[in-house]
Structure 1
C-alpha cells in the first residue's frame, strides 16, 4: 500500500504532454496523496463505498483523497484502506427499539394523537388533517 502511483496517469503526461489536475500521489502539491475523480488506486475506498460493501473504517485515518471540480467548487472524498476495514456493527435490539420509538413519535400527531403513515411536518406541528381543520 506504500506505492500509490498510477502507471497510466504517469505515462499520460509523457505520451501526450497533458498534465492531470489533482494527480499528486506523493502529496507534494496538496500535502496529502491526491487523485482525480474515478482514478483511486485499487485497495482504497471512500466512506460511501465502504458502507455499500458492509464495512466501516475501523478507526483508521484516511491515507489519500480524491479531488474533483463541481461547478466552481472543489470537492473532496477521503480514501481508506480496504484491508484495514472491519464489518459494520449491527444495532442491538435495544437500539433498534429506541429507533423505532423515535420514528413512531415523528409520525404521531400532537393534536389528535393518531399515528400517521407519514412524518408529521415540523412547520405545522400536527398532521395534515388537523392542519386543514384549523
Structure 2
C-alpha cells in the first residue's frame, strides 16, 4: 500500500543511563504545548515488512532514500478514536499517524496488520477509556 498520511513530529524514544527507554517529549515551534502534523508519503513493503516514508511522493519515485522507516514485525498498532489517527510503537519509537478519514485509516490498518504489525493488546481498552477523560 502507498499513499499520503500525516505524521506527528517527534516520537523517538530516548534511552536513559539505566537502560530504560521512554518517549521523548514532542517538540514544535511553540514548545511542547503543541504537536505538528506533517504530510508524508508512505509505502508498505510486504516483502521485508517495513513501512517507509518520504517528504513527498516524488522523492520516492526518484529513488531517494526514505526520511524514515519502521520495521512492522513486532510493532504494536493502536487505533485511536480521534481524527482518524493510529500509532505504531516499536522499541525505538512511537509513530503517530493520521489519515484523511476513518475509511482511509481502516485501509491502512488492514494493510499494516497484513504486513506484520500486531494489534496492541490494550487497544480496545484505550479506545474506550481515552486518557484525560
Task: Give the shorter-chain TM-score range.
Answer: under 0.3
Higher RCO (CA-CA < 8 Å; seq separation 6+) = 2
Larger % of strand: which?
2
Tell which structure's C-alpha radius of gyration is larger: 1
Alignment TM-score, normalising by the size of structure 2:
0.22
Alignment TM-score, normalising by the size of structure 1:
0.21
